[in-house]
Chain A
Protein backbone atom coordinates (compact mmCIF):
# COMPACT_ATOMS: atom_id res chain seq x y z
CA UNK A 1 0.00 0.00 0.00
CA UNK A 2 2.60 2.46 1.11
CA UNK A 3 4.81 1.73 -1.86
CA UNK A 4 2.00 2.18 -4.35
CA UNK A 5 0.91 5.50 -2.85
CA UNK A 6 4.50 6.66 -2.98
CA UNK A 7 4.66 5.55 -6.59
CA UNK A 8 1.61 7.52 -7.60
CA UNK A 9 2.96 10.56 -5.87
CA UNK A 10 6.24 10.22 -7.72
CA UNK A 11 4.37 9.67 -10.97
CA UNK A 12 2.26 12.72 -10.38
CA UNK A 13 5.32 14.78 -9.65
CA UNK A 14 7.19 13.71 -12.76
CA UNK A 15 4.33 14.43 -15.15
CA UNK A 16 3.75 17.72 -13.32
CA UNK A 17 7.40 18.66 -13.56
CA UNK A 18 7.63 17.71 -17.23
CA UNK A 19 4.55 19.75 -18.08
CA UNK A 20 5.85 22.67 -16.05
CA UNK A 21 9.14 22.61 -17.91
CA UNK A 22 7.32 22.38 -21.24
CA UNK A 23 5.05 25.23 -20.13
CA UNK A 24 7.93 27.54 -19.26
CA UNK A 25 9.80 26.71 -22.45
CA UNK A 26 6.80 27.03 -24.77
CA UNK A 27 5.38 30.16 -23.19
CA UNK A 28 8.81 31.80 -23.12
CA UNK A 29 9.46 30.93 -26.76
CA UNK A 30 6.08 32.18 -27.91
CA UNK A 31 6.49 35.35 -25.87
CA UNK A 32 9.89 35.92 -27.45
CA UNK A 33 8.36 35.35 -30.88
CA UNK A 34 5.84 38.06 -30.08
CA UNK A 35 8.48 40.42 -28.74
CA UNK A 36 11.49 40.00 -31.01
CA UNK A 37 9.92 41.42 -34.19
CA UNK A 38 9.16 44.62 -32.30
CA UNK A 39 12.70 44.78 -30.99
CA UNK A 40 14.03 44.30 -34.51
CA UNK A 41 11.88 47.15 -35.80
CA UNK A 42 13.01 49.48 -33.01
CA UNK A 43 16.62 48.39 -33.22
CA UNK A 44 16.79 48.73 -37.00
CA UNK A 45 15.42 52.25 -36.75
CA UNK A 46 18.56 53.12 -34.73
CA UNK A 47 21.03 51.26 -36.94
CA UNK A 48 23.04 52.91 -39.68
CA UNK A 49 21.98 52.16 -43.23
CA UNK A 50 25.39 50.90 -44.31
CA UNK A 51 25.37 48.32 -41.55
CA UNK A 52 21.88 47.12 -42.51
CA UNK A 53 22.90 46.73 -46.15
CA UNK A 54 25.93 44.69 -45.14
CA UNK A 55 24.50 42.61 -42.32
CA UNK A 56 20.72 42.81 -42.55
CA UNK A 57 18.22 43.76 -39.88
CA UNK A 58 19.49 43.72 -36.35
CA UNK A 59 18.25 42.64 -32.96
CA UNK A 60 20.58 45.01 -31.15
CA UNK A 61 21.36 48.41 -32.70
CA UNK A 62 24.80 48.34 -34.32
CA UNK A 63 26.52 51.53 -35.38
CA UNK A 64 23.89 53.34 -33.35
CA UNK A 65 22.45 56.42 -35.01
CA UNK A 66 19.36 58.59 -34.71
CA UNK A 67 19.77 59.80 -38.28
CA UNK A 68 16.44 58.33 -39.41
CA UNK A 69 14.56 60.09 -36.62
CA UNK A 70 16.44 63.31 -37.37
CA UNK A 71 15.33 63.10 -40.99
CA UNK A 72 11.72 62.54 -39.96
CA UNK A 73 11.97 65.47 -37.57
CA UNK A 74 13.46 67.68 -40.30
CA UNK A 75 10.25 67.55 -42.29
CA UNK A 76 7.69 66.67 -39.67
CA UNK A 77 4.58 68.29 -41.12
CA UNK A 78 3.19 65.13 -42.72
CA UNK A 79 3.84 63.00 -39.68
CA UNK A 80 2.34 65.63 -37.37
CA UNK A 81 -0.60 66.05 -39.70
CA UNK A 82 -1.14 62.30 -39.64
CA UNK A 83 -0.94 62.30 -35.88
CA UNK A 84 -3.58 65.02 -35.67
CA UNK A 85 -5.89 63.14 -38.05
CA UNK A 86 -5.45 59.86 -36.18
CA UNK A 87 -5.72 61.29 -32.68
CA UNK A 88 -8.83 63.34 -33.51
CA UNK A 89 -10.37 60.38 -35.28
CA UNK A 90 -9.60 58.05 -32.39
CA UNK A 91 -10.92 60.45 -29.76
CA UNK A 92 -14.12 61.39 -31.56
CA UNK A 93 -14.80 57.94 -32.96
CA UNK A 94 -14.20 56.18 -29.67
CA UNK A 95 -16.25 58.59 -27.59
CA UNK A 96 -19.23 58.81 -29.91
CA UNK A 97 -19.12 55.15 -30.91
CA UNK A 98 -18.82 53.99 -27.32
CA UNK A 99 -21.80 56.05 -26.22
CA UNK A 100 -23.98 54.84 -29.09
CA UNK A 101 -22.95 51.21 -28.62
CA UNK A 102 -23.55 51.33 -24.87
CA UNK A 103 -26.94 52.95 -25.38
CA UNK A 104 -27.99 50.35 -27.96
CA UNK A 105 -26.55 47.47 -25.95
CA UNK A 106 -28.41 48.57 -22.84
CA UNK A 107 -31.75 48.97 -24.60
CA UNK A 108 -31.38 45.63 -26.41
CA UNK A 109 -30.94 43.61 -23.24
CA UNK A 110 -33.81 45.21 -21.31
CA UNK A 111 -36.22 42.30 -20.79
CA UNK A 112 -39.17 44.71 -20.84
CA UNK A 113 -38.24 46.15 -24.26
CA UNK A 114 -40.62 44.43 -26.66
CA UNK A 115 -38.63 45.16 -29.84
CA UNK A 116 -35.31 43.88 -28.54
CA UNK A 117 -35.30 40.69 -30.62
CA UNK A 118 -36.42 42.39 -33.80
CA UNK A 119 -33.76 45.08 -33.55
CA UNK A 120 -31.09 42.60 -32.49
CA UNK A 121 -31.81 40.54 -35.56
CA UNK A 122 -31.85 43.67 -37.75
CA UNK A 123 -28.33 44.45 -36.51
CA UNK A 124 -27.10 40.89 -36.56
CA UNK A 125 -28.35 40.25 -40.07
CA UNK A 126 -25.75 42.67 -41.48
CA UNK A 127 -23.03 40.19 -40.53
CA UNK A 128 -24.78 37.44 -42.48
CA UNK A 129 -25.42 39.24 -45.67
CA UNK A 130 -23.79 42.26 -47.20
CA UNK A 131 -23.68 44.12 -50.46
CA UNK A 132 -19.94 43.71 -50.70
CA UNK A 133 -17.25 46.21 -51.46
CA UNK A 134 -18.54 47.67 -54.72
CA UNK A 135 -21.93 48.97 -53.54
CA UNK A 136 -20.29 50.13 -50.32
CA UNK A 137 -17.70 52.05 -52.32
CA UNK A 138 -20.38 53.59 -54.51
CA UNK A 139 -22.47 54.48 -51.46
CA UNK A 140 -19.66 56.37 -49.79
CA UNK A 141 -18.40 58.08 -52.91
CA UNK A 142 -21.60 58.68 -54.93
CA UNK A 143 -24.45 58.79 -52.45
CA UNK A 144 -22.84 60.20 -49.32
CA UNK A 145 -20.19 62.13 -51.31
CA UNK A 146 -17.50 61.43 -48.75
CA UNK A 147 -14.58 60.88 -51.09
CA UNK A 148 -11.53 62.72 -49.72
CA UNK A 149 -13.54 63.59 -46.63
CA UNK A 150 -12.30 62.57 -43.19
CA UNK A 151 -15.85 61.53 -42.33
CA UNK A 152 -15.30 58.54 -44.63
CA UNK A 153 -12.79 57.16 -42.16
CA UNK A 154 -14.75 58.22 -39.08
CA UNK A 155 -18.36 57.20 -39.70
CA UNK A 156 -18.19 53.62 -40.98
CA UNK A 157 -16.27 52.38 -37.92
CA UNK A 158 -18.51 53.95 -35.25
CA UNK A 159 -20.44 50.77 -34.56
CA UNK A 160 -20.20 47.11 -35.36
CA UNK A 161 -22.64 44.28 -34.66
CA UNK A 162 -19.96 42.37 -32.78
CA UNK A 163 -19.29 45.25 -30.37
CA UNK A 164 -23.00 45.81 -29.79
CA UNK A 165 -23.47 42.11 -28.98
CA UNK A 166 -20.45 42.23 -26.65
CA UNK A 167 -21.91 45.26 -24.88
CA UNK A 168 -25.36 43.72 -24.73
CA UNK A 169 -24.03 40.55 -23.12
CA UNK A 170 -22.14 42.54 -20.56
CA UNK A 171 -25.11 44.74 -19.72
CA UNK A 172 -27.12 41.56 -19.14
CA UNK A 173 -24.99 40.86 -16.08
CA UNK A 174 -26.24 44.06 -14.42
CA UNK A 175 -29.37 42.96 -12.52
CA UNK A 176 -32.60 44.22 -14.02
CA UNK A 177 -33.91 44.95 -10.50
CA UNK A 178 -31.61 47.98 -10.39
CA UNK A 179 -33.39 49.41 -13.41
CA UNK A 180 -36.74 48.52 -11.93
CA UNK A 181 -36.14 50.17 -8.57
CA UNK A 182 -34.86 53.31 -10.28
CA UNK A 183 -38.03 53.32 -12.36
CA UNK A 184 -40.16 53.15 -9.25
CA UNK A 185 -38.24 56.15 -7.97
CA UNK A 186 -39.42 57.94 -11.10
CA UNK A 187 -36.30 57.90 -13.28
CA UNK A 188 -36.72 57.77 -17.07
CA UNK A 189 -35.00 55.14 -19.19
CA UNK A 190 -32.38 57.49 -20.54
CA UNK A 191 -31.62 58.88 -17.08
CA UNK A 192 -31.24 55.36 -15.72
CA UNK A 193 -28.84 54.58 -18.53
CA UNK A 194 -26.67 57.65 -18.06
CA UNK A 195 -26.73 57.97 -14.28
CA UNK A 196 -26.86 54.35 -13.12
CA UNK A 197 -25.91 51.91 -15.85
CA UNK A 198 -22.96 53.71 -17.44
CA UNK A 199 -21.04 54.06 -14.14
CA UNK A 200 -21.64 50.36 -13.44
CA UNK A 201 -20.46 49.20 -16.83
CA UNK A 202 -16.88 50.46 -16.62
CA UNK A 203 -15.17 47.17 -17.58
CA UNK A 204 -17.41 46.84 -20.63
CA UNK A 205 -16.84 50.46 -21.59
CA UNK A 206 -13.10 49.99 -21.22
CA UNK A 207 -13.15 46.86 -23.37
CA UNK A 208 -15.35 48.15 -26.15
CA UNK A 209 -13.59 51.51 -25.95
CA UNK A 210 -10.24 49.84 -26.41
CA UNK A 211 -11.57 47.88 -29.40
CA UNK A 212 -12.85 51.09 -30.95
CA UNK A 213 -9.67 52.99 -30.18
CA UNK A 214 -7.57 50.19 -31.66
CA UNK A 215 -9.72 50.18 -34.75
CA UNK A 216 -9.37 53.91 -35.23
CA UNK A 217 -5.68 53.99 -34.42
CA UNK A 218 -4.97 51.17 -36.86
CA UNK A 219 -7.38 52.38 -39.53
CA UNK A 220 -5.96 52.34 -43.02
CA UNK A 221 -8.50 50.43 -45.12
CA UNK A 222 -11.19 53.08 -45.47
CA UNK A 223 -8.45 55.67 -45.76
CA UNK A 224 -6.89 53.77 -48.64
CA UNK A 225 -10.26 53.40 -50.34
CA UNK A 226 -11.54 56.92 -49.90
CA UNK A 227 -8.64 59.33 -49.45
CA UNK A 228 -6.81 60.12 -52.67
CA UNK A 229 -3.42 61.78 -52.86
CA UNK A 230 -5.10 65.17 -53.03
CA UNK A 231 -5.75 64.92 -49.31
CA UNK A 232 -2.92 66.53 -47.46
CA UNK A 233 -2.83 64.48 -44.30
CA UNK A 234 -3.69 60.81 -44.16
CA UNK A 235 -4.08 58.75 -40.97
CA UNK A 236 -0.89 57.34 -39.46
CA UNK A 237 -1.20 53.79 -40.73
CA UNK A 238 -1.81 54.88 -44.31
CA UNK A 239 1.13 57.26 -43.93
CA UNK A 240 3.21 54.29 -42.78
CA UNK A 241 1.88 52.22 -45.69
CA UNK A 242 2.92 54.93 -48.12
CA UNK A 243 6.36 55.24 -46.55
CA UNK A 244 6.87 51.49 -46.67
CA UNK A 245 5.55 50.86 -50.16
CA UNK A 246 6.40 54.04 -52.03
CA UNK A 247 10.04 54.98 -51.94
CA UNK A 248 9.44 58.60 -53.02
CA UNK A 249 7.85 59.39 -49.67
CA UNK A 250 11.19 58.91 -47.98
CA UNK A 251 13.06 60.64 -50.81
CA UNK A 252 10.86 63.69 -50.47
CA UNK A 253 11.49 64.11 -46.79
CA UNK A 254 15.20 63.49 -47.33
CA UNK A 255 15.24 66.15 -50.03
CA UNK A 256 13.61 68.58 -47.63
CA UNK A 257 16.50 67.97 -45.24
CA UNK A 258 19.10 68.38 -48.05
CA UNK A 259 20.31 64.82 -47.78
CA UNK A 260 21.87 63.51 -51.00
CA UNK A 261 19.95 60.53 -52.44
CA UNK A 262 22.74 58.00 -51.84
CA UNK A 263 22.77 58.82 -48.12
CA UNK A 264 19.07 58.33 -47.49
CA UNK A 265 18.59 55.66 -44.82
CA UNK A 266 15.65 53.94 -46.55
CA UNK A 267 15.40 50.93 -44.26
CA UNK A 268 15.87 52.69 -40.94
CA UNK A 269 13.40 55.39 -41.95
CA UNK A 270 10.73 52.78 -42.63
CA UNK A 271 11.30 51.37 -39.16
CA UNK A 272 11.44 54.76 -37.49
CA UNK A 273 8.10 55.64 -39.09
CA UNK A 274 6.68 52.33 -37.88
CA UNK A 275 7.83 53.11 -34.35
CA UNK A 276 6.27 56.55 -34.53
CA UNK A 277 3.00 55.22 -35.93
CA UNK A 278 2.60 52.36 -33.47
CA UNK A 279 4.13 53.53 -30.19
CA UNK A 280 1.27 55.31 -28.46
CA UNK A 281 -1.36 52.56 -28.71
CA UNK A 282 0.99 49.97 -27.24
CA UNK A 283 1.87 52.36 -24.43
CA UNK A 284 -1.80 52.84 -23.55
CA UNK A 285 -2.53 49.13 -23.51
CA UNK A 286 -0.99 48.04 -20.15
CA UNK A 287 -3.25 50.53 -18.37
CA UNK A 288 -6.46 49.05 -19.71
CA UNK A 289 -5.31 45.43 -19.92
CA UNK A 290 -7.02 44.44 -16.67
CA UNK A 291 -10.41 45.61 -17.91
CA UNK A 292 -9.73 44.36 -21.39
CA UNK A 293 -9.15 40.73 -20.42
CA UNK A 294 -12.13 40.78 -18.08
CA UNK A 295 -14.29 42.34 -20.77
CA UNK A 296 -13.53 39.88 -23.58
CA UNK A 297 -14.00 37.05 -21.15
CA UNK A 298 -17.45 38.14 -20.03
CA UNK A 299 -18.58 39.14 -23.50
CA UNK A 300 -17.15 36.27 -25.47
CA UNK A 301 -17.77 33.26 -23.29
CA UNK A 302 -21.43 34.03 -23.11
CA UNK A 303 -21.49 34.29 -26.91
Chain B
Protein backbone atom coordinates (compact mmCIF):
# COMPACT_ATOMS: atom_id res chain seq x y z
CA UNK B 1 0.00 0.00 0.00
CA UNK B 2 2.74 2.33 0.95
CA UNK B 3 4.87 1.78 -2.07
CA UNK B 4 2.50 2.73 -4.87
CA UNK B 5 1.34 5.77 -2.99
CA UNK B 6 4.90 6.78 -2.54
CA UNK B 7 5.87 6.24 -6.14
CA UNK B 8 2.82 8.05 -7.40
CA UNK B 9 3.79 10.97 -5.19
CA UNK B 10 7.27 10.85 -6.58
CA UNK B 11 6.12 10.81 -10.14
CA UNK B 12 3.82 13.67 -9.37
CA UNK B 13 6.72 15.49 -7.83
CA UNK B 14 9.06 14.90 -10.74
CA UNK B 15 6.34 15.83 -13.16
CA UNK B 16 5.80 19.04 -11.27
CA UNK B 17 9.53 19.64 -11.28
CA UNK B 18 9.56 19.19 -15.04
CA UNK B 19 6.57 21.43 -15.56
CA UNK B 20 8.14 23.96 -13.20
CA UNK B 21 11.18 23.99 -15.43
CA UNK B 22 9.09 24.23 -18.58
CA UNK B 23 6.87 27.01 -17.27
CA UNK B 24 9.77 29.12 -16.13
CA UNK B 25 11.99 28.40 -19.12
CA UNK B 26 11.92 31.99 -20.35
CA UNK B 27 12.63 33.46 -16.93
CA UNK B 28 15.48 31.03 -16.49
CA UNK B 29 16.89 32.01 -19.87
CA UNK B 30 16.59 35.65 -18.87
CA UNK B 31 18.82 34.92 -15.88
CA UNK B 32 21.32 32.97 -17.96
CA UNK B 33 23.65 35.88 -18.82
CA UNK B 34 23.96 36.70 -15.14
CA UNK B 35 24.49 33.06 -14.20
CA UNK B 36 27.26 32.69 -16.76
CA UNK B 37 28.75 36.06 -15.90
CA UNK B 38 29.11 35.31 -12.20
CA UNK B 39 30.28 31.80 -12.92
CA UNK B 40 33.13 33.08 -15.07
CA UNK B 41 34.22 36.16 -13.13
CA UNK B 42 33.43 35.08 -9.59
CA UNK B 43 33.16 31.31 -9.27
CA UNK B 44 36.02 30.20 -11.51
CA UNK B 45 38.57 32.25 -9.50
CA UNK B 46 37.45 30.71 -6.18
CA UNK B 47 39.41 27.45 -6.41
CA UNK B 48 42.37 29.63 -7.33
CA UNK B 49 42.68 30.42 -3.64
CA UNK B 50 44.67 27.21 -3.57
CA UNK B 51 47.65 29.35 -4.66
CA UNK B 52 47.85 30.41 -1.02
CA UNK B 53 49.08 26.92 -0.18
CA UNK B 54 51.71 26.53 -2.88
CA UNK B 55 54.93 28.18 -3.85
CA UNK B 56 53.56 29.57 -7.08
CA UNK B 57 55.68 29.12 -10.15
CA UNK B 58 54.57 30.85 -13.30
CA UNK B 59 55.91 28.12 -15.59
CA UNK B 60 54.10 25.33 -13.72
CA UNK B 61 50.73 26.92 -13.08
CA UNK B 62 48.58 26.83 -9.98
CA UNK B 63 48.01 23.15 -9.48
CA UNK B 64 51.48 21.88 -10.38
CA UNK B 65 53.41 24.32 -8.22
CA UNK B 66 54.98 22.72 -5.13
CA UNK B 67 52.62 22.46 -2.17
CA UNK B 68 53.97 24.26 0.87
CA UNK B 69 51.08 24.04 3.30
CA UNK B 70 50.71 26.94 5.67
CA UNK B 71 54.16 28.41 5.25
CA UNK B 72 52.85 31.46 3.37
CA UNK B 73 50.55 32.21 6.26
CA UNK B 74 53.33 31.58 8.75
CA UNK B 75 55.47 34.13 6.99
CA UNK B 76 52.67 36.71 7.10
CA UNK B 77 52.10 36.18 10.80
CA UNK B 78 55.78 36.24 11.75
CA UNK B 79 56.53 39.32 9.67
CA UNK B 80 53.67 41.10 11.43
CA UNK B 81 52.07 41.99 8.10
CA UNK B 82 48.83 40.16 8.76
CA UNK B 83 48.28 41.93 12.05
CA UNK B 84 49.13 45.36 10.63
CA UNK B 85 46.86 44.85 7.61
CA UNK B 86 43.95 43.59 9.70
CA UNK B 87 44.33 46.41 12.19
CA UNK B 88 44.48 49.11 9.51
CA UNK B 89 41.65 47.69 7.40
CA UNK B 90 39.31 47.17 10.34
CA UNK B 91 40.08 50.47 12.09
CA UNK B 92 39.68 52.48 8.89
CA UNK B 93 36.37 50.80 8.18
CA UNK B 94 35.11 51.47 11.71
CA UNK B 95 36.10 55.12 11.37
CA UNK B 96 34.42 55.33 7.95
CA UNK B 97 31.22 53.79 9.30
CA UNK B 98 31.01 55.85 12.50
CA UNK B 99 32.20 59.25 11.30
CA UNK B 100 30.46 58.72 7.96
CA UNK B 101 27.09 57.91 9.54
CA UNK B 102 27.28 60.87 11.91
CA UNK B 103 28.04 63.30 9.10
CA UNK B 104 25.42 61.77 6.80
CA UNK B 105 22.69 61.91 9.45
CA UNK B 106 23.70 65.45 10.38
CA UNK B 107 23.52 66.56 6.75
CA UNK B 108 20.12 64.92 6.29
CA UNK B 109 18.63 66.46 9.43
CA UNK B 110 20.00 69.93 8.79
CA UNK B 111 19.04 69.79 5.13
CA UNK B 112 15.52 69.03 6.27
CA UNK B 113 15.49 72.19 8.40
CA UNK B 114 16.38 74.36 5.42
CA UNK B 115 13.11 75.79 4.21
CA UNK B 116 14.34 77.38 1.00
CA UNK B 117 13.62 74.64 -1.51
CA UNK B 118 15.96 75.95 -4.18
CA UNK B 119 18.89 76.38 -1.80
CA UNK B 120 18.36 72.82 -0.59
CA UNK B 121 18.31 71.43 -4.11
CA UNK B 122 21.44 73.32 -5.19
CA UNK B 123 23.44 72.34 -2.12
CA UNK B 124 22.33 68.72 -2.36
CA UNK B 125 23.42 68.60 -5.99
CA UNK B 126 26.82 70.05 -5.20
CA UNK B 127 27.34 67.73 -2.24
CA UNK B 128 26.94 64.81 -4.62
CA UNK B 129 29.69 66.02 -6.97
CA UNK B 130 32.58 64.29 -5.19
CA UNK B 131 30.73 61.01 -5.56
CA UNK B 132 30.94 61.33 -9.32
CA UNK B 133 34.64 61.63 -9.85
CA UNK B 134 37.26 58.95 -10.15
CA UNK B 135 39.69 58.20 -7.36
CA UNK B 136 42.45 59.33 -9.67
CA UNK B 137 41.03 62.84 -9.50
CA UNK B 138 40.47 62.48 -5.75
CA UNK B 139 44.16 61.64 -5.41
CA UNK B 140 45.08 64.69 -7.45
CA UNK B 141 42.82 66.92 -5.37
CA UNK B 142 44.33 65.59 -2.14
CA UNK B 143 47.74 66.33 -3.61
CA UNK B 144 46.55 69.88 -4.39
CA UNK B 145 45.86 70.41 -0.73
CA UNK B 146 48.76 68.51 0.82
CA UNK B 147 51.64 69.15 -1.53
CA UNK B 148 54.64 70.56 0.34
CA UNK B 149 55.61 73.26 -2.17
CA UNK B 150 52.39 74.58 -3.69
CA UNK B 151 49.68 72.87 -1.63
CA UNK B 152 46.67 74.87 -0.46
CA UNK B 153 47.17 74.02 3.21
CA UNK B 154 50.85 74.84 3.28
CA UNK B 155 50.09 77.99 1.32
CA UNK B 156 47.75 79.12 4.05
CA UNK B 157 50.23 78.14 6.75
CA UNK B 158 52.97 80.17 5.02
CA UNK B 159 50.66 83.18 4.73
CA UNK B 160 50.14 83.04 8.48
CA UNK B 161 53.87 82.70 8.99
CA UNK B 162 53.69 79.08 10.16
CA UNK B 163 56.00 76.26 9.13
CA UNK B 164 54.74 74.12 6.22
CA UNK B 165 53.91 70.51 6.98
CA UNK B 166 55.43 67.65 5.01
CA UNK B 167 52.33 65.48 4.86
CA UNK B 168 53.80 62.82 2.63
CA UNK B 169 56.44 61.81 5.16
CA UNK B 170 54.31 61.96 8.29
CA UNK B 171 52.32 58.72 8.66
CA UNK B 172 50.45 59.82 11.78
CA UNK B 173 48.46 62.44 9.88
CA UNK B 174 47.17 59.97 7.33
CA UNK B 175 44.36 58.34 9.27
CA UNK B 176 42.77 61.80 9.48
CA UNK B 177 43.47 62.63 5.84
CA UNK B 178 42.08 59.34 4.58
CA UNK B 179 38.96 59.43 6.74
CA UNK B 180 38.31 63.08 5.81
CA UNK B 181 38.73 62.33 2.11
CA UNK B 182 36.43 59.38 2.27
CA UNK B 183 33.76 61.40 4.12
CA UNK B 184 34.19 64.21 1.61
CA UNK B 185 33.61 61.81 -1.26
CA UNK B 186 30.77 59.80 0.21
CA UNK B 187 28.78 61.89 2.69
CA UNK B 188 26.58 63.71 0.19
CA UNK B 189 25.61 60.43 -1.39
CA UNK B 190 25.14 58.63 1.91
CA UNK B 191 22.89 61.37 3.27
CA UNK B 192 20.41 60.85 0.41
CA UNK B 193 19.04 57.70 2.04
CA UNK B 194 18.67 59.34 5.46
CA UNK B 195 17.12 62.43 3.91
CA UNK B 196 14.61 60.26 2.07
CA UNK B 197 13.73 58.49 5.32
CA UNK B 198 13.05 61.87 6.94
CA UNK B 199 10.88 63.08 4.07
CA UNK B 200 8.91 59.85 4.31
CA UNK B 201 7.97 60.51 7.94
CA UNK B 202 4.23 61.02 8.22
CA UNK B 203 3.83 64.83 8.52
CA UNK B 204 0.94 64.34 10.94
CA UNK B 205 3.29 62.96 13.59
CA UNK B 206 5.47 66.05 13.40
CA UNK B 207 2.53 68.44 13.18
CA UNK B 208 0.83 67.05 16.24
CA UNK B 209 4.11 67.18 18.17
CA UNK B 210 4.54 70.81 17.21
CA UNK B 211 0.97 71.58 18.27
CA UNK B 212 1.78 69.98 21.61
CA UNK B 213 4.54 72.52 21.93
CA UNK B 214 7.59 70.51 20.93
CA UNK B 215 10.58 72.62 20.01
CA UNK B 216 12.55 71.99 16.83
CA UNK B 217 15.26 70.42 18.93
CA UNK B 218 12.75 68.12 20.60
CA UNK B 219 11.28 67.24 17.22
CA UNK B 220 14.72 66.13 16.04
CA UNK B 221 15.65 64.42 19.27
CA UNK B 222 12.41 62.54 19.92
CA UNK B 223 10.87 62.01 16.47
CA UNK B 224 13.40 62.18 13.65
CA UNK B 225 16.38 60.48 15.31
CA UNK B 226 14.40 57.44 16.54
CA UNK B 227 12.84 57.07 13.10
CA UNK B 228 16.29 57.12 11.50
CA UNK B 229 17.50 54.33 13.77
CA UNK B 230 16.30 51.38 11.66
CA UNK B 231 17.95 52.82 8.54
CA UNK B 232 21.13 53.38 10.52
CA UNK B 233 21.11 49.86 11.96
CA UNK B 234 20.59 48.26 8.57
CA UNK B 235 23.33 50.28 6.90
CA UNK B 236 25.58 49.56 9.86
CA UNK B 237 25.04 45.83 9.60
CA UNK B 238 25.61 45.90 5.86
CA UNK B 239 28.89 47.71 6.25
CA UNK B 240 29.86 45.38 9.08
CA UNK B 241 29.97 42.61 6.49
CA UNK B 242 32.56 44.51 4.48
CA UNK B 243 34.75 45.42 7.40
CA UNK B 244 37.66 43.39 6.09
CA UNK B 245 37.35 44.88 2.64
CA UNK B 246 39.20 48.09 1.96
CA UNK B 247 38.61 50.80 -0.55
CA UNK B 248 41.55 50.17 -2.88
CA UNK B 249 41.09 53.21 -5.12
CA UNK B 250 41.04 55.59 -2.18
CA UNK B 251 44.21 54.32 -0.54
CA UNK B 252 46.12 53.66 -3.73
CA UNK B 253 45.51 57.08 -5.25
CA UNK B 254 46.06 58.99 -2.05
CA UNK B 255 49.18 57.22 -0.91
CA UNK B 256 50.62 55.69 -4.07
CA UNK B 257 52.44 52.40 -4.27
CA UNK B 258 55.94 53.64 -3.50
CA UNK B 259 55.62 55.75 -0.39
CA UNK B 260 56.65 53.07 2.09
CA UNK B 261 57.13 55.65 4.89
CA UNK B 262 53.34 55.82 5.19
CA UNK B 263 52.60 52.11 4.92
CA UNK B 264 52.60 51.45 8.65
CA UNK B 265 49.47 53.61 8.92
CA UNK B 266 48.00 53.39 5.43
CA UNK B 267 48.54 49.85 4.18
CA UNK B 268 45.33 47.85 3.92
CA UNK B 269 44.70 44.32 2.71
CA UNK B 270 43.91 45.39 -0.86
CA UNK B 271 46.95 47.59 -1.32
CA UNK B 272 49.23 44.91 0.11
CA UNK B 273 47.78 42.27 -2.21
CA UNK B 274 48.11 44.60 -5.18
CA UNK B 275 51.75 45.39 -4.37
CA UNK B 276 52.63 41.77 -3.79
CA UNK B 277 51.15 40.89 -7.16
CA UNK B 278 52.15 43.79 -9.40
CA UNK B 279 55.45 44.98 -7.88
CA UNK B 280 56.95 41.95 -6.16
CA UNK B 281 55.29 39.21 -8.24
CA UNK B 282 54.70 37.27 -5.06
CA UNK B 283 51.52 35.49 -6.14
CA UNK B 284 51.44 33.08 -3.21
CA UNK B 285 51.78 35.71 -0.51
CA UNK B 286 49.14 37.89 -2.16
CA UNK B 287 46.83 34.90 -2.36
CA UNK B 288 47.39 33.94 1.25
CA UNK B 289 46.25 37.38 2.37
CA UNK B 290 43.20 37.16 0.07
CA UNK B 291 42.39 33.72 1.44
CA UNK B 292 42.52 35.02 4.99
CA UNK B 293 40.35 37.99 3.97
CA UNK B 294 37.77 35.81 2.23
CA UNK B 295 37.42 33.20 4.96
CA UNK B 296 37.52 35.60 7.88
CA UNK B 297 35.24 38.02 6.02
CA UNK B 298 32.79 35.24 5.32
CA UNK B 299 32.41 34.55 9.02
CA UNK B 300 31.90 38.22 9.74
CA UNK B 301 29.18 38.48 7.08
CA UNK B 302 27.45 35.38 8.39
CA UNK B 303 27.57 36.87 11.86
CA UNK B 304 26.23 40.22 10.59
CA UNK B 305 23.41 38.44 8.82
CA UNK B 306 22.58 36.51 11.96
CA UNK B 307 22.39 39.84 13.77
CA UNK B 308 20.12 41.34 11.10
CA UNK B 309 17.84 38.34 11.39
CA UNK B 310 17.58 38.90 15.12
CA UNK B 311 16.97 42.63 14.89
CA UNK B 312 15.02 43.02 11.65
CA UNK B 313 14.29 39.65 10.02
CA UNK B 314 12.84 41.28 6.94
CA UNK B 315 16.22 42.68 5.98
CA UNK B 316 18.21 39.47 6.27
CA UNK B 317 20.30 38.75 3.22
CA UNK B 318 19.87 35.00 3.27
Q: Say whether, besides A41-B141, A134-B286, A218-B134, A108 and B31 are in contact (CB < 8 Å).
A: yes
Judged by a CB distance under 8 angstroms, whether B78 is at the interface is no
Residues of B within 8 A of A136 (CB): 41, 45, 48
Residue of B134, B197, B270 near A301 (CB, 8 A) is: B197
* Smallest beta-carbon distance A138→chain B, Å: 6
Residues of B within 8 A of A9 (CB): 213
Judged by a CB distance under 8 angstroms, whether A64 is at the interface is no
Indicate if the CB atoms of A104 and B47 lie closer than 8 Å: no
Indicate if the CB atoms of B33 and A23 lie closer than 8 Å: no
Q: Say whether, besides A15-B215, A37-B141, A189-B26, A237 and B44 are in contact (CB < 8 Å).
A: no
Closest residue of A by beta carbon distance from B249: A221
Residues of A within 8 A of B139 (CB): 244
Indicate if the CB atoms of A134 and B290 lie closer than 8 Å: yes
* Smallest beta-carbon distance B318→chain A, Å: 6
A residues 225-243 near B (Cβ < 8 Å) are 225, 237-238, 240-241
* Smallest beta-carbon distance B66→chain A, Å: 17
Closest residue of A by beta carbon distance from B285: A134
- The stretch among A68-76, A87-95, A249-257, A273-281 that forms the contact with chain B is A273-281
Judged by a CB distance under 8 angstroms, whether A34 is at the interface is yes
Residues of A within 8 A of B318 (CB): 121, 124
Dominant secondary structure of chain A at its interface with chain B? helix
B-contact 0/1 string along A94-123, CB 8 Å cutoff? 000000110110111010111100010111
A-contact 0/1 string along B80-115, CB 8 Å cutoff? 000000000000000000000000001100110111
Indicate if the CB atoms of B45 and A301 lie closer than 8 Å: no
Residues of B within 8 A of A262 (CB): none
Interface residues of A (CB under 8 A from B): 5, 8-9, 11-12, 14-16, 18-20, 22-24, 26-28, 30-31, 33-35, 37-38, 40-41, 44, 52-53, 55-57, 100-101, 103-104, 106-108, 110, 112-115, 119, 121-124, 126, 128-139, 143-144, 155-156, 158-159, 161, 164, 188-190, 193, 214, 217-221, 225, 237-238, 240-241, 244-245, 267, 270-271, 274, 277-278, 281-282, 285-286, 289, 293, 296-297, 300-301, 303
Interface residues of B (CB under 8 A from A): 20, 24, 26-31, 33-35, 37-38, 40-49, 51, 62, 106-107, 110-111, 113-115, 122-130, 132-137, 139-141, 143-145, 147, 149-152, 154-155, 184, 187-189, 192-193, 196-197, 210, 213-218, 220, 231, 234, 238, 241, 248-249, 253, 256, 270, 273-274, 277-278, 283, 286-287, 289-291, 293-294, 297-298, 301-302, 315, 317-318
Q: List 8 A-B contacts (CB under 8 A).
A: A23-B114, A104-B31, A114-B24, A128-B241, A131-B46, A132-B45, A133-B277, A289-B125
